[in-house]
Amino acid sequence: MEEDRKNDWLISQSLERSLSIISAINRVSIFLKLRSVGIRESVISEQVDAARKLLIQFLIALSAVVERAAESEDKIAFGADPRLSTLARKFLELSAQGGGVVPFSAEELKEMKVLLEKGETADDNVLAKELGHLRSVLELHSQADAAIVFNEV
């Protein structure tokens, strides 16, 4: 009921979602990198599988939001929470800049999803690099939410 933003349900949910997704990126990225240098983790293929699934779901949702925002005259993704819409617009803006800041569009998000689905047959280096870029955008986004949740502003 309150307007105090530190307990704002939307911001808190957005932060929790970002932390989960970034953690999933890290889990898959570490797995790929260790495999590339010939280290097999004794753990935990279930953890990596769960992380892959979470990332695939997120990429499906995010690319759908990016597409909806791209189609709308006002860059509105109807039915998406405003923090996810803001993230989607970041991708649209970055794509429009074209300067290679972060090489993502809705199509490229879908390509990353395909790479994740390929599993063993994907190019580990390409996937790890793209995950790193996605992580950098999400970290910026989550830091804005964290600043509010933790009363830093």
Partner 1 sequence: MRIRETLRRKNQDLKQDLENVKHIVSIARIVEELEPYRVALLTRTLDLIDASRQNLAWLDIEDDILLPDVLSETFILLQRVRLIKLRYLRGLYRTTNWDRVCLQTIAWVHRRHEQTVTYPAVFADDDVSTIPSKGLPFYFFPCLEQRGLRFQPLFFHEFGHVLYKCHEQELDSLVGDFQQIVEAELLPASQRNDQYAQEQARLRQSIVETWYKWVQEFFCDAVGLSIGGPCFLNAFSDYIGKLQTTDYFRQASDLHGSSHPVSCLRLKLLAERAERAGLGRDAENVVRNWNDVAKLLGVSEDYQGFYTDLIKTSLVQTVDDMLVEASPYQCSEDDAAGLGWEGRPMNLIALLNEAWVKFTEDPNGFQSWEAKVLEETYGL
Among 48-56, 71-79, 97-105, 113-121, the segment contacting partner 1 (CB under 8 A): 71-79
Contact between 37 and partner 1 by CB under 8 A: the answer reads yes
Per the listing, tokens 């932060």 go with 15
Token reading at 148: 């509010």
Residues 93-152 that bind partner 1 (CB under 8 A): 132, 135, 139, 142, 146, 149-150
**Alpha-carbon distance 126 to 90, whole Å?**
22
11 secondary structure, DSSP code:
H
* Cα-to-chain-centroid distance, residue 83: 13
Contact between 57 and partner 1 by CB under 8 A: the answer reads no
Contact 66, 109 (CB under 8 A): yes
> Rule CB under 8 A: which residues touch partner 1?
1-5, 7-10, 12-13, 15-16, 19, 22-23, 25-26, 29-30, 33-34, 36-37, 39, 73-76, 78-82, 85, 132, 135, 139, 142, 146, 149-150
